[in-house]
Amino acid sequence: DKTLIRFCSSKSSASQSQSQSPLAWQIGQYGGNSTLKLTECQMPVIKKANEVLIKQVHAASVNPIDVKNRSGYGAVFLNKARGVKPGDEFPLTLGRDCSGVVAEIGRGVRDIKEGDNVWTTINAVRQGTFADYVIATTDEVGLKPSNLTHIEAASIPYVATTNWSAIYAVAKIRPANALGKRALILGGSGGVGTFGIQLLKAWGVNVTVTCSENAFDLVYGLGAHHAVDYKSPNILEELLKHGQYDLIVNTIGESMEDMSVKLIKEKAYAQYVTLVAPFIDEMEKKGLFAGGLSSSLMLFQKSRKFSALGGTYRWAFAQPNSFALKEVAKLVEDGKIKPVIDETFDFQDLPAAFERVEKGHLRGKVVVNVA
Ligand code: NDP
């Protein structure tokens, strides 16, 4: 491993020679941080017409999902989607997004060319982005905003496509209908929340967030209209001070649900969307079929609580989305969305970056500098 770390450090400024094997942080089993190994691996090869090879991954972000996946979260569901038996997914490279340079394109690729600076959120079923080289499809990749460095850019794709999925795809709040709506983000100071504030604000939504008091300056600086300390004993009253909400995005968990029923507008269009759904946990505990069934039942029961008031209860999941990346790139270039980075780590220190995410209390994103 020491040889690999030396090699990794020495390539930081020089471009990597074609004769050297690419490196990736891989796991051979699920577990703690000691399962992460910096490994020489084979060069990924384009197999489909719509794929691009991102030769130089410059930077990638570390998300709570990477930490969970390292410990085995989602393996049952993902192995089914990969079409492999348990254990055959190893060696597995984690990481969902990155910013880098295109080396090669499949024969069906039109809008991206060799040498383009791109950013991407890739599908979790494939090998991930904590690597020198990554394969992405045209559905997953977009041109990096020209006004950001690769490190800044890498902090955005995963949380952007997560928010897009919750707000645009699931809640159907879009630039054309957003103006004047009131949204509440439960958890405004982390990776997802800091991006969500900026996206909603850019579309003309009045945004309230919950966060720790020491994050108020950050969230107001990003454009939040109101911030409420989630430790306040009067949290419900404070959140209702300006009325109920057209949209609630929950990044915290089920503990927020009963309160949210009182906060959502009693209108058919009002949407409660949670990013912390029990779907994967149920499948891990009970298997694909029984877990799928019990989560459907939960979804039905929870939906009834909200629909009794007129609103709608939904789950949302991060989805690769090149259209979202293109729209977000415009907002970034217009100065309406800024990267929010808590801390940056060198590629060889990826385990320390995982530790930082596990420690929690993030203010924005953790990014690893690969190049
Ligand atoms: P982060 O770790 O970046 O941020 C979490 C933030 O929440 C921190 O700033 C933390 O700060 C704050 N926080 C903790 N407790 C509360 C609380 N009770 N109320 C309000 N804020 C609180 O995580 P992400 O933003 O990246 O992700 C958030 C959640 O969303 C994770 O559980 C993640 O797994 C999930 N997620 C789900 C996706 C999906 O596809 N469904 C996709 C992406 C994320 P502090 O503790 O200092 O207050």
Mean pLDDT, 10 residues at a time, the chain of 371 residues: 36 45 96 97 96 91 98 95 97 98 97 97 97 97 98 98 98 97 98 98 98 98 98 97 96 93 89 92 87 89 82 93 98 98 97 98 97 78
The predicted pLDDT at position 55 comes to 84
41 alpha carbon to ligand 1 midpoint, in Å?
33
pTM: 0.94
Compute the distance between CA of residue 42 and CA of residue 45 in angstroms, rounded to an integer.
9
262 alpha carbon to ligand 1 midpoint, in Å?
22
The predicted pLDDT at position 13 comes to 35
186 alpha carbon to ligand 1 midpoint, in Å?
9
For residue 201, the number of C-alpha atoms closer than 13 Å in the C-beta half-sphere is 24
Q: Which two tokens stand for residue 11?
A: 């390539």
CA 324, 367, 99, 201 torsion: positive or negative? positive
Give residue for tokens 């090149």.
322
List residues bridging with 182 in a β-sheet.
Answer: 206
List residues bridging with 203 in a β-sheet.
Answer: none
159 alpha carbon to ligand 1 midpoint, in Å?
11
The predicted pLDDT at position 284 comes to 85
Burial of 161 (0-12, 13-18, 19+ CB in 10 A): buried
Mapped onto helix, strand or coil, the DSSP state of residue 168 is helix
The predicted pLDDT at position 1 comes to 37
ipTM of model: 0.99
Q: Which residues of 53-84 are buried (b: 16+ CB within 10 A; e: fewer)?
A: bbbbbbbbbbbbbbbebbeebbbbbbbeebee
Sort residue 76 into left (φ over 0), alpha (ψ -120 to 50) or beta: alpha
Most informative mutation of 67, 170, 189 for ligand 1 (most atoms within 8 A of CB) = 189
The predicted pLDDT at position 229 comes to 98
The predicted pLDDT at position 251 comes to 98
Question: Which of ligand 1's atoms lies nearest the C-alpha of 212?
Answer: 48
Mapped onto helix, strand or coil, the DSSP state of residue 322 is helix
Q: Look at ligand 1, atom 6, and give the residue with the nearest C-alpha.
A: 190
Burial of 178 (0-12, 13-18, 19+ CB in 10 A): buried
List residues bridging with 315 in a β-sheet.
Answer: 274
CB 343 within 8 A of CB 50: no
The predicted pLDDT at position 127 comes to 96
Q: Collect all residues with Cβ–Cβ distance below 8 Å to 175 and sequence separation of at least 6.
A: 203, 204
The predicted pLDDT at position 5 comes to 39
User: Which residues lie with the beta carbon below 6 Å from any ligand 1 atom?
Assistant: 63-65, 162, 186-187, 189-193, 210-212, 230, 251-252, 275-276, 316-318, 360-362
Mapped onto helix, strand or coil, the DSSP state of residue 309 is coil
Most informative mutation of 252, 340, 355 for ligand 1 (most atoms within 8 A of CB) = 252
